[in-house]
Amino acid sequence: MKSRQGITNLQVTAIVSLSILGIAVLFIPSSASEAAGIDGVLATLFGGIVVLVLTFTAILLSCQYPNHTIIEYSQIVFGRLLGKLYGFYIVLYAIATTATVLRGFADAMKVLLLPKTPLEVIMITMMLTVAYQVQGGISTIARINELFLPPIIGLILGLLLLNVRDVEMFRYRALLSNGFGPILMSLAGISTGYLGFEIVTFLTPFVADKRKLLKYGMAGTGITIIIYTLLVFIELGIYGDKTIADMVYPTVHLARRILWVESFIERFDIFFLTFWILAAFTTITSYMYMAALSVVRIIGLRNYKPFVFILSPVVYMIAIIPQNSVQFTVLLKIISYAGLAIGFSTVPMLIISKIKKARINND
Amino acid sequence: MKVIRRKNPNNRKTIEERQSPKPKSEDRVSIPLSKDLKENLGKFKAFLEESADAVFREFKLGVTGIPCALVYIDGLTDKNVIHEAILKPMMYEVSELNQDRSLSLDHDLVFDFVKEHAVTVADIKEVECLDKAMLFVMSGEAVLLIDGFDKVLVISTRGWPARGVNNPEDEEVIRGPKEGFTETLRVNTALIRRKCKDPNMVIKTITLGRRSKTDVAYVYIKGITREELVKEVEERLNKIDIDQVIDSGQLEQLIQDNNMTPFPQVQATERPDKTVAGLLEGRVAILVDNSPYALIVPATFNQFFQSPEDYNERWILSSFIRLLRWISSFVAVFTPAIYIAILTYHPSLIPTKLALSISASRSGVPFPSLIEALLMESTLELLRESGARLPKAIGQTIGIVGGLIIGDAAVRAGITSPITVVIVAITAIASFVIPTYSTAIGLRTMRFPLMILAGFLGLYGVVIGFILLNIHMASIKSFGVEFMTPQSPIIIHDLRDFVIRAPYMAMKRRPVETDPIDMIRMDMD
């Protein structure tokens, strides 16, 4: 038997893109148009490119320390104490993000699919499924991501394809009418929609073939850039920026427009949502894995599996904190910028580690 | 001897106590054979005297008068061989030989003389140990004892009433060979040899079962199958320490990777052609004496959806049928759950007219759709199980009574709605499309937890069930190969023999999932 230890490169692509494609799929068009109006399309594209660059630095950095996760090599880069603090920050971020995504998922489920089911039931069942998945190990997570990527991508592309004829190009005449100013201003906000790519800093020790990691990891981000940009383009083309900005889940509206084959399926949005659960699940799984792994690595243990069952209630407790969607939005914003900070921190880390390596080489 | 481990120390004590006075039959007599015929025969008799089917035939070798004895089990041996090829030449023709060719019949050389001139059977072995000789007797060989020698002659006389080579009933094909394995190991290995005359094909045999001493053969082709895989199979087989190996179905569970799963991780087949195809893909086949099923390892989920006739039909048709099988496997697992979810939580998902007619037909039904569907699905399983065990003639009656009368009457009585009956029937038919019985039943069982999830959480519950099922299946391995190959991990090369059965010109190489040594299957344009 050829030893198939670790995860394959295609699996890395799947993990990265499905970690990004999560709850943000539902509302990225409205946040884009809110931030940049009709220029939201370009903002989404450029925001994606910023994240692509960050993915690039994150993978380069991780490849400097192929046998460590970010928790361990941050202690090499920053020194022990600062590194521990940084690691602690990541732990908090990962736990909080798991909770936030879980809450966002449950909110959407309750509003769109199961109005009479208690929020707690949705969250607990999801949390249990995620815990079962995460304690199965990274190879199972990788395989599940690989299995779910084709249907999720296929469904979103199908949704876009069925709506593409309704795009009214006249709306794009106003493109860039205010110059690049609004785009640049909204770049940071849009980039948060691409959060999830941080998972690459946790994958390197488990990847079988590390040489191609850069290409495949960036492909993962690339897929989501294409999907998000197309999604925003079609949404803005159909509804216009003013309408979109007021919608809570514009992507679901897009799905609701579809009346397929003389209304054989009357509510395509429900069909879409059921598949979207898979995307939300993989995102929560990635963050949960990140949280469990970083907690264990920061303590210095190897086996993270028992911690999944300690973390799950904690995540649940955080997830039920927001009382309403306003509080949730605030929480999401805070978390997003905290995540973006981690993404940007890879740049100085890469520089420091390069300098350190160069110094060692000179000596 | 290994002691069974139990958590309660008292239990363990009892077990040890019970095991301590082992009346090991080997202890009653010394294992090495002596030169005295009476003593040797006594050793055999010590074991077998109480058994009615053991035959001890004492006779004298021709004119020499040297005492001999033949030991065999009546019923396992071919009487003709014993009469014509052993007793007749030894008792009668030996004297003629002696005169004609003036061969000396010295007492010291008589053993070799018998072996070389008298016994006219091809397969003969010399054995110097009682244990081994005993095993041969029990497997149907005749053991010849000659006075003055501390060894015996084992003469192949196996022959018992056996089922002939029949149609493989569980795996019928429309196009393809119609012969299936039987209960006799030798016949089965011969069926495999007939399909592939490659001298590199190795058939190794080991004996398993502390008491049953069942012959287990594992077959592979040197130069295709990886050594590591063969070693892994050997290791797992050698680990087995059990009193009886009943069937390959039991052996399968003793060597499989994961016990906590309803899915088989070993492919069991009645068909020699399937077995040989597996061997040529770099797999190992395991045959168990007394079992008409061969085991092929490693097995992937994909394999259970392949049928030999896919390769005998044109690829377009085969691919269409494969697609049908995959869709119907999905239908068999998820339809009732989706039906319940839509009816209970999302009636807006279906067209208004259909929703109206469904609700009209369900108006008289007192149960929620979950209970209704569970009831009908359970009835279906009940019918299937009762039909499976009954003689064919009564089985048909069950089919008519169950399917037609109960179904119709249940609708009229208002227990269930016609639409539920339709859904249940579709599910049943879809589940029978899957070519492998054990996979079909594994998938079918998954319906029930999914239905309950759907009843409580709607489509969200169905998706949660789908995710859990996927996680479970993605975590299984079979002899080092991931169960969901080639979907996950994606092996692009192997996708040619997945939902689509590519034309032969596109399948010039063997599948890489088993990592065969010789990759080239076809070398032509």
What confidence tens digit (pLDDT) does each residue in A278-310 have?
Answer: 999 999 999 999 999 999 989 888 888 888 999
Residue A288's closest CA among A199, A214, A363, A352?
Answer: A199
d(CA B490, CA B283): 20
Task: Determine the pLDDT at residue B410.
Answer: 87
pLDDT band at A263 (very low <50, low <70, confident <90, very high): low
Q: What percent of chain B has pLDDT over 70?
A: 92
pLDDT above 50 for B488: yes
Q: What number does CATH give the domain A9-346?
A: 1.20.1740.10
Q: Give A283→chain B minimum CA distance, Å.
A: 13
pLDDT above 90 for B487: no
User: Does residue B195 contact residue B279 with C-beta atoms inside 8 Å?
Assistant: no
Summarize pLDDT for A70-83 with one digit per residue, the tens: 999 999 899 889 99
- φ/ψ (deg, to 5) at B511: -60, 140
Summarize pLDDT for A202-228 with one digit per residue, the tens: 999 999 888 889 999 999 999 999 999
Side by side, the strands of the sheet bearing B54-61 are B54-61, B66-73, B142-146, B152-155, B124-127
More confident residue, B525 or A356: A356
pLDDT above 80 for B82: yes
Task: Determine the pLDDT at residue A44.
Answer: 93
d(CA B467, CA B334): 12
B62 touches A at CB < 8 Å: no
Task: Determine the pLDDT at residue B454.
Answer: 95
Do B457 and A125 count as a contact with CB atoms less than 8 A apart?
yes
d(CA B464, CA A122): 10
Summarize pLDDT for A344-359 with one digit per residue, the tens: 999 999 999 999 888 8
Query: What letter does residue A11 receive in the DSSP assignment?
Result: H
Looking up tokens 């089919």, which residue turns up? B399
Do A277 and B475 count as a contact with CB atoms less than 8 A apart?
no
pLDDT above 50 for A2: no
Cβ atoms within 10 Å, residue A320: 14
d(CA A237, CA A239): 6
d(CA A133, CA A148): 14
Query: What letter does residue A217 receive in the DSSP assignment?
Result: H
Region B251-277: what's the mean pLDDT?
Answer: 93
β-strand pairing of B142-146 with B284-288: unpaired
Q: Give B178→chain A minimum CA distance, Å.
A: 33
Region A306-322: what's the mean pLDDT?
Answer: 92
pLDDT above 60 for B312: yes
d(CA A90, CA A85): 9
Q: What is the largest CA-CA distance in chain A?
A: 75
Task: Determine the pLDDT at residue B17.
Answer: 66
Residue B25's closest CA among B56, B54, B57, B50?
Answer: B50
N-term to C-term CA, chain A: 44
- DSSP for B116-181 reads III---S-EEEE-BHHHHHHHHHTT-EEEEETT-S-EEEE--B----------TTS--SSS-----
More confident residue, B394 or A200: A200
Closest by Cβ to B351, choosing from A126, A144, A266: A266
Task: Determine the pLDDT at residue A36.
Answer: 85
Summarize pLDDT for A236-258 with one digit per residue, the tens: 999 988 888 888 899 998 888 88
Q: Which residues of A touch B345 (CB under 8 A)?
A: 113-114
Residues in contact with B320: Cβ distance below 8 Å, sequence separation at least 6, in sequence order:
none
Looking up tokens 């080092």, which residue turns up? B480
Task: Determine the pLDDT at residue B62.
Answer: 81
Query: What letter does residue B3 receive in the DSSP assignment?
Result: P
More confident residue, B138 or A268: B138
Low-confidence winner among A310-319, B388-397, B432-441 (lowest mean pLDDT): B388-397
Provide Rg for chain B, Cα atoms.
30
- φ/ψ (deg, to 5) at B77: -115, 155
With CA atoms as reference, the chain B residue closest to A10 would be B490
Region B108-120: what's the mean pLDDT?
Answer: 84
pLDDT above 50 for B102: yes
What are the angstrom distances between the C-alpha of B438 and each of A97, B182, B304, B408? 42, 19, 9, 30
d(CA B518, CA B197): 17
pLDDT above 90 for B461: yes
With CA atoms as reference, the chain A residue closest to B514 would be A1
Q: What is the rounded average pLDDT for all residues in chain A?
A: 90
Task: Determine the pLDDT at residue B104.
Answer: 61
More confident residue, A133 or A4: A133
Region A123-144: what's the mean pLDDT?
Answer: 93
Summarize pLDDT for B316-371 with one digit per residue, the tens: 999 999 999 999 999 999 999 999 999 999 888 888 888 888 888 888 888 899 99
Closest by Cβ to A113, choosing from B458, B481, B514: B458
Do B489 and A146 count as a contact with CB atoms less than 8 A apart?
yes
Region B74-92: what's the mean pLDDT?
Answer: 90
User: Does residue B462 contact residue B340 with C-beta atoms inside 8 Å?
Assistant: no
Residue A198's closest CA among A293, A78, A123?
Answer: A293
What are the angstrom distances between the C-alpha of A266 and each of A260, A311, B321, B352? 7, 40, 30, 8
Low-confidence winner among A64-73, A173-182, B22-31, B189-198 (lowest mean pLDDT): B22-31
With CA atoms as reference, the chain A residue closest to B226 would be A1
Helices (H) and strands (E) in chain B, counts: 20, 12
Summarize pLDDT for B10-67 with one digit per residue, the tens: 666 666 666 654 444 444 455 788 888 888 898 888 888 889 999 999 998 887 788 8
B462 touches A at CB < 8 Å: yes
User: Does residue B478 contact residue A4 with C-beta atoms inside 8 Å?
Assistant: no
User: Does residue A201 contact residue A132 with C-beta atoms inside 8 Å?
Assistant: no
Q: Which residues of B touch A274 (CB under 8 A)?
A: 459-460, 462-463
Closest by Cβ to B488, choosing from A129, A146, A277: A146
What sign for the dihedral angle of Cα A293, A299, A305, A306? negative
User: Does residue B227 contact residue B205 with C-beta atoms inside 8 Å?
Assistant: no
Q: Which residues of B touch A278 (CB under 8 A)?
A: 463, 467
Do B470 and A144 count as a contact with CB atoms less than 8 A apart?
yes
Summarize pLDDT for A140-172 with one digit per residue, the tens: 999 999 999 999 999 999 999 988 888 888 888
Closest by Cβ to A140, choosing from B232, B475, B490: B475
Burial of B132 (0-12, 13-18, 19+ CB in 10 A): middle
B341 touches A at CB < 8 Å: no
pLDDT band at A22 (very low <50, low <70, confident <90, very high): confident
What sign for the dihedral angle of Cα A131, A133, A138, A142? negative
Do A277 and B460 count as a contact with CB atoms less than 8 A apart?
yes
With CA atoms as reference, the chain B residue closest to A129 would be B468
Q: Which residues of A touch B488 (CB under 8 A)?
A: 143-144, 146-147
Task: Determine the pLDDT at residue B23.
Answer: 46
Task: Determine the pLDDT at residue B1.
Answer: 44
Residues in contact with B128: Cβ distance below 8 Å, sequence separation at least 6, in sequence order:
B32, B33, B150, B151, B152
Query: What letter does residue B509 receive in the DSSP assignment?
Result: B
